[in-house]
Amino acid sequence: MTGILLQSTSGITSSVLAFLVSLLVGALSIHIGARLIIDRDVGFGRAVFTALVGAVVWALVSFFVGWIPLLGPLLAVVAWIGVINWRYPGGWGTAAAVGVIAVIAAAVVIWLVGTFFGLGLEAFGVPE
């Protein structure tokens, strides 16, 4: 009985760990984008919250309108940028620039981790 419990716990532990690492990669990417574009310390906690809320908003919009060709994915991106706009100062243009930098930073971080550590990661809270 204990072996089964450990296997179940191990599966849950690895899933939680994968989620947390992916969330940190997404938050780091948003934080990098915000630091480069907004040019002041905006706090890493804000980036973590933005990544989490952004992922939920992206998923909800994709679920409800993602099936519409071209318009669905575009609305999901606009909603994700809207979350960045809500969380950071500077307006829609600044939020879009932060989003572009975040996507590039996430791709670089994922590539570096994959190349040097052989791990496959995702960036939770940053669209791929």
Report the half-sphere exposure of 121 (CA within 13 A, side-chain side).
Answer: 27
Interhelix angle 71-87/44-65, nearest 10 degrees: 160
Q: pLDDT for 87-126, tens place per residue?
A: 999 999 999 999 999 999 999 988 888 888 877 777 777 8
CB atoms within 10 A of CB 49: 16
The pLDDT score that the predictor gives to residue 106 is 92
Report the half-sphere exposure of 66 (CA within 13 A, side-chain side).
Answer: 11
Comparing C-alpha atoms, which of 26, 127, 37 is closest to residue 88? 37
Q: Is the pLDDT of residue 74 over 80?
A: yes
The pLDDT score that the predictor gives to residue 3 is 45
Instruction: Give SS3 for 63.
Output: helix
Confidence of residue 10 (pLDDT cuts 50, 70, 90): low
- Report the percent of the chain where pLDDT is more than 70: 91
The pLDDT score that the predictor gives to residue 41 is 82
What's the CA gap between 44 and 38, in Å, rounded? Answer: 14
Q: Is the pLDDT of residue 4 over 60?
A: no
What is the maximal distance between C-alpha atoms in the chain?
57
Q: pLDDT for 23-34, tens place per residue?
A: 999 999 999 999
The pLDDT score that the predictor gives to residue 9 is 54
The pLDDT score that the predictor gives to residue 6 is 40
Comparing C-alpha atoms, which of 5, 27, 13 is closest to residue 126? 27
The pLDDT score that the predictor gives to residue 121 is 74
